Every structure is written in C-alpha cells, then in structure tokens.
Amino acid sequence: DVKVTQSSRYLVKRTGEKVFLECVQDMDHENMFWYRQDPGLGLRLIYFSYDVKMKEKGDIPEGYSVSREKKERFSLILESASTNQTSMYLCASSFRSGALWDPPSEKLFFGSGTQLSVL
Amino acid sequence: KQEVTQIPAALSVPEGENLVLNCSFTDSAIYNLQWFRQDPGKGLTSLLLIQSSQREQTSGRLNASLDKSSGRSTLYIAASQPGDSATYLCAVAGGTSYGKLTFGQGTILTVHP
C-alpha cells in the first residue's frame, strides 16, 4: 500500500515563527501536493510539485513556500506563521502515467494530516 | 472557474439501506473525477476514479457514475453499514492548471444500526 507520512499530527506554534511541515511518500510518485482544509471552505490547493525541484502555485500560495529536494519528500514552509494559517494541512501524492504536462490521471493518496494551531 | 457542489450536505440512514450521493460541477471540460472518503480528523482515501471517457466505476459495494455533459456524478452505496459513516468528497481534475483538483464540500454520511 502507498504510504504518505506527515511528520506531525498536531503542531502548536506562535505567530511569527517559521514552520516546517514535512511529507514523505514511499511509492516513487512524481506528483506531490499540499492542501489546507478549513470548515466551510473545503480543501484548497496551496502548492504542488510534479518533479524534483519543480513547484507550481495553487489557489492560495500567499504566506507559504515549498521545497522538493528529493523525489520522496515535499516540505511546506510557513515563512512567518499567522493566526489565519491555523488549519488542517494535508499532503498528497500521485503517480504520473503520462508526459510531464499531461493532466493527472491517477488516484491521489493523502497523508493523515497535520492540525496546526498558530497562537 | 470550476465549482463543485455536493448534495445533500448530510445524510442519515438506517443500516442496510441503499443510498446515492450527488456531485455536480459547472465546467464539463474535466479530465477525471474522484470520490474520496474522510474519517473525522483524518486524511482522505480515494475510493473511485472515473476518467472523462468512462461512464462508471465499481468497487465492491460502491458504484460511481459520470455524466460529463450534464456535469454530474453519483456515488451509489449498496447495503450501507455503520462502518460506511464518514464524509464523502468528490473532486474533479480539469482546467488549464496542471494538477489542480477542485473539491466539493462533502456529504456527511451517518449509518445507524
């Protein structure tokens, strides 16, 4: 079974702190994604990566950055945490069966999520 | 901009009942549609993936259909069980941005014994 592992289940940080959320997948997937999930707003895409060192902005990239130095690891960075970044963060990955710019055609596998509270 | 709507927002049924969850989307130019299950406080599990060229997919007691032209998908759950209680989300892949899935808000399903 595919395993997507997020480093922390719960995290509490203070405003202004730099926060790192780590995600590791063990199935050699090319695509990796970071979402946040908020009540009433659903899941929103923050960033995604379709290859090592490649990244693309999603719908809400402001206040976030990402790093993908190795294929299996995709990190989300909150440069200066703010209270409005309190949320459930979900990492996901998928296999790329076509060319680089082909649309995604494979199932998306999610980690268990990190509930981040910024005080 | 793609919008995905799921109806109903919540559903409570007795065990053993067959049920249908609905998903509609505004832009029919999609590549595929996925149905997910999410247990409270957990991540999402992909249940079924329907490519735009397909009409339906089945897995065990689950059957998902896709009518791209009308912008609709349904998830049919046969002989529901208490273990099916969860939030069910649909998501469509499409548009000009690679990798972008648009999610619905989900249907909260409760199956009571």
Reported confidence tier of residue A2, pLDDT bands at 50, 70, 90: low
Strands B10-14 and B107-112, by their bridges, are parallel
Which residues does chain B have within 8 Å of residue A33's beta carbon, measured at their own beta carbons? 99
> Other CB atoms closer than 10 Å to residue B6's CB: what's the count?
22
List the structure tokens of A109: 């596998």
Which residues does chain B have within 8 Å of residue A34's beta carbon, measured at their own beta carbons? none
pLDDT value, residue A9: 93
The residue whose two tokens read 């032209």 is B69
Q: Examine the pLDDT at B97 and tell me if it is beyond 60.
A: no
pLDDT in tens, A21-40: 999 999 999 999 999 999 88
pLDDT value, residue A82: 97
Estimate to the nearest angstrom the gap between the alpha carbon of A56 and the chain centroid. Answer: 12
> Other CB atoms closer than 10 Å to residue B84's CB: what's the count?
18
**Residue of B90, B55, B87 lying closest to B70 (CA atoms):** B55
pLDDT in tens, A81-95: 999 999 999 999 988
Greatest CA separation for chain A: 43
Instruction: Test B43 with A113 for CB contact under 8 angstroms.
Output: yes
pLDDT in tens, A92-108: 998 877 776 666 678 89
